Amino acid sequence: MPLNTELWHQPSSGFDIEYAARFDESASSWMNLTFSDDGTGDAKIWTMSFWIKMISDPSGDYRSIYSAAVNGTTNHVDQIRVLPGLKWGYQRQGGIGGALIAEGDYILTTNSWNHIVVAVDTNQATAANRTKMYFNGTLVDDYESGSVNYGDEDYVTGIGQGRVQGIGKLVQGTFNTTIDAFMAEFIFVDGVQHVPTKFGESSGGSWVPIDPSEQSITFGTNGFYLNFAINDDLGNDVSGENNDWNVNAMGTDHRVTDTPTNPA
């Protein structure tokens, strides 16, 4: 069972997250970036880590946390998304390439922060090693019936590929409504499949963030780290790779102080 996310206190490292970003469905706020190539991991090996607090349940349909074009065809998109009932998961190529949808103890909430890690290495011969999803430090082992698909070996993902990427919205296709959520510490590591202890730790019965700058992370060509610290430049990448994001309909008021270490 995932660790309790409501018994908050500072981790032993003393790491404090000052800011988060508000992705506002009513304002259609989101971010986009187009990579020039498939990067260090050839869009086959990567890790995505972020903290999220949902504002509303997308009861009508799904919402994209992160999406990326697999090719130029409509709806051929890889995405990490939230479904009605606050289930979440990783879907490949608009469902053609299969999906993993977490449920049970692993669903998101609207009253607390949760940490998600999706770690991919499609070079792996064992299917279950190709896609690993973690919720508050725990490997997800409860999936929606019929959704357990870890992806094909050597699959080139849309995420990390030299195509358009989006945070908070589907980048192409017929459904592009933005997500309604707070997000913090949004990290993409290009070329390494990490475990969640690279980004968080268990402390006093809770899963808490740790300082990425102390973890010797090699972000890779397409890697980025968004800490949302600059209110008029929320897409600023502080990884050192200079993969800055374009910001859409997100003013200075979209930087918030409700964070995983200082929840409102």
pTM over 0.95: no
- Which letter, b or e, does each residue of 71-91 get, where b requires 16 or more Cβ atoms within 10 Å of its Cβ? eeeeebbbbbbbbeebbbbbb
Q: What is the pLDDT of residue 175?
A: 65
For residues 207 and 185, give the distance between their C-alpha atoms in angstroms, rounded to a whole number: 14
Q: How far is CA 124 from the centre of its chain?
A: 22
Comparing 4-8, 125-129, 135-139, 235-239, which segment has the lowest mean pLDDT? Answer: 4-8
Q: Is the pLDDT of residue 4 over 50?
A: no
Instruction: Convert the pLDDT of each residue in 145-167 to its tens digit.
Output: 887 999 999 999 999 999 999 99
The CA R_g of the chain, rounded to the nearest whole Å, is 17
For residue 34 the two structure tokens come to 């187009």
Domains for the chain: give ranges and CATH numbers.
Answer: 20-221+243-256 (2.60.120.200)
Q: What is the pLDDT of residues 34-57, one digit of tens each?
A: 999 999 999 999 999 999 999 999
CA distance 134 to 122: 17
State residue 5's pLDDT score.
39
Q: What are the phi and psi torsion angles at 135 (to 5°)?
A: -125, 115
